[in-house]
């Protein structure tokens, strides 16, 4: 992914962004052997060789992890309202990770975090139709017909949902646990889908992203993803 040169230098720990600008203006930075003195210059650190005073800088190593997000954390890196953020749960990792997509404040479960923008973009791109599996505890007992309606697609305020898979997992006195698999990521989609058919979501947990499952990863913990784990997302 292309980024401004001063940002790349700052990210690589060469200097603060302000000091990196001074390095660029002073003609001390080369990209693929060419001295760059414009501050607006953008490059993809994975595609080019960047040198400062002739010394090659190494691009930040890519990190991929799966976090089991607890409720009560926002999926942003900082929050103007001072709420807890998922960044706090991965603080000990020396890379600037960002969440891939979002989960509501009250939603728990599988959240991928990475510093690889291209990877995040691929996962989120609708053309890949990556499935997201949720367990939703809803009030009442959705009828077979209701589940069928949700799986065919229903009209929400601004769009019609794509086909989904639904399965009743458990029936309790006043609520039901339903597995729902969707491959879209519209805001509050699962909650809105159930709301539209008269069932409030009482608790929501994403248990898998593609075929990458949380399994027994404890709440608030993360695991690093191997290349094989990452493959699971697309399979």
Which CB atom, from 28 or from 192, has the smaller least distance to ligand URA?
192
- Cβ(233)–Cβ(111) below 8 Å: no
Please report which helix (H) or strand (E) contains residue 23, including its range.
helix 17-25
Distance of CA 184 to the CA centre of its chain: 13
Q: Catalytic: which of 104, 157, 158, 229?
A: 104
Tell which residue, 137, 140, 142, has the closest CA to residue 205.
137
DSSP state letter for 134: E
Which CB atom, from 4 or from 191, has the smaller least distance to ligand URA?
191
Reading the block at residue 28, the tokens are 């001390």
Distance of CA 103 to the CA centre of its chain: 8
- Cβ(138)–Cβ(178) below 8 Å: yes
- Give the span between the Cα atoms of 134 and 203, in whole angstroms: 10
Which CB atom, from 165 or from 188, has the smaller least distance to ligand URA?
188
Least Å distance, CB 225 to ligand URA, is 20
Which CB atom, from 6 or from 175, has the smaller least distance to ligand URA?
175
11: number of Cβ within 10 Å: 18
Reading the block at residue 192, the tokens are 């809105």
- The binding site for ligand URA (CB under 6 A) comprises 103-104, 107, 188-191, 204
Least Å distance, CB 186 to ligand URA, is 8
- Give the span between the Cα atoms of 69 and 60, in whole angstroms: 25
- Give the span between the Cα atoms of 228 and 63, in whole angstroms: 14
- Cβ(168)–Cβ(176) below 8 Å: yes
- Residue 104 known to be catalytic: yes
Least Å distance, CB 196 to ligand URA, is 12
Which CB atom, from 64 or from 209, has the smaller least distance to ligand URA?
209
Least Å distance, CB 141 to ligand URA, is 20
Least Å distance, CB 105 to ligand URA, is 8
What positions carry a catalytic annotation? 104
């Amino acid at each position: 992914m292309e980024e401004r040169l001063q940002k790349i230098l700052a990210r690589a720990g060469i200097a603060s962004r302000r000091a990196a600008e001074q390095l660029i203006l002073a003609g001390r930075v080369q990209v693929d052997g060419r001295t760059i003195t414009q501050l607006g210059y953008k490059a993809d650190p994975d595609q080019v060789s960047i040198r400062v005073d002739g010394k090659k800088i190494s691009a930040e190593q890519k990190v991929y992890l799966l976090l089991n997000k607890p409720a009560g954390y926002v999926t942003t890196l900082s929050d103007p309202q001072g709420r807890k953020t998922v960044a706090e749960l991965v603080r000990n990792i020396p890379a600037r990770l960002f969440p891939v997509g979002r989960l509501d404040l009250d939603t728990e479960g599988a959240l991928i975090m990475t510093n690889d923008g291209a990877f995040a973009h691929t996962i989120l791109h609708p053309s890949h139709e990556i499935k997201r599996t949720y367990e939703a505890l809803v009030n009442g007992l959705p009828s077979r017909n209701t589940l069928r309606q949700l799986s065919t697609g229903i009209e929400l305020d601004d769009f019609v949902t794509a086909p989904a898979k639904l399965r009743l997992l458990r029936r309790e006195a006043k609520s039901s646990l339903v597995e729902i698999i969707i491959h879209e990521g519209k805001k509050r989609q699962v909650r809105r889908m159930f709301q539209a058919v008269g069932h409030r979501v009482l608790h929501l947990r994403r248990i898998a992203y593609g075929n990458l499952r949380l399994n027994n990863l404890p709440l608030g913990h993360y695991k690093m993803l191997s290349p094989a784990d990452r493959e699971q997302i697309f399979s």
